[in-house]
A and B are shown apart, each in its own frame.
Chain A
């Protein structure tokens, strides 16, 4: 692999890693929101049951 190829690969890898990291963070946040919805649903059910 030439030096130019290494630098080009590194630049594209930076973009890929950043996009993947963002998707992972958003995915983790959606997971947390999903758990919170389940928790609040349970809380509302218990309130309705008295």
Chain B
């Protein structure tokens, strides 16, 4: 709009004399342009004003400029507001209200009163044995799964980016589990860990390994890790493949010429260059494992005896099964804060180790 209009400089007093001063105001031009032009031409002081030529010639144009700006704002609102409205009602408002709910005691019945209890909910949850246990399970589960998923995913990625002719087929097959939702995967593996394992145990006589894993607390947690790894490894593989394929060929070639073996090139050249992929993959696996619910719900249901109840499920049970709406929400806020802290810590930690080419 302004880019094509010519500018001229006029004496302010002259303008005043002509009765133009109302339109000679800088406000007809965006401040940014005026300031930059002033800088460019070293225009300062009060005497000289900058204004579009057209503004001197006619009275109507400043009005159209104003209209244009108004219509720009209307377009902006038309494009942005619908989504912002939905987003606000679905995410922002519930999040803010949720903070409020965490300070009250309420059983979820609309007619029953909500009593303000201050920080009591937060004090209580740190001495809540079941909640702290679930936090411990979540930590153990996340640590082991993140490690396993990334190691296996990276190993897959390295082996299907080599010379294999079947690499495309292999990629597709390894990725398949990710597409099937956690809930359905959990049910499939539930059958495997209970009945199929027992039947394998009976057939082979390896009863000390093949028994119903879901009945034993430690093995049930291991079962969760197996399923999560099975689901996520293929997904993480895809991200690593992307990283490996964008590695600069010449650097690796140079390392080979200098006499680096496969492992040397892998650990000293490829891995440092893959750091951005590590950042992404660790972030994705860490946040996914921390928030895991579906597999927990369908595979173990938190059992046996709450031994595999993760934080997400503990919150769900507290709110919707035990009807402790305020207390459960306080847990949910603590959950949010711990997810945020842990993932941000991880990101800043791995970001520091990224190398520039």
Co-assembled chains A and B: no
B contact set with A: CB distance below 8 Å:
none
A contact set with B: CB distance below 8 Å:
none
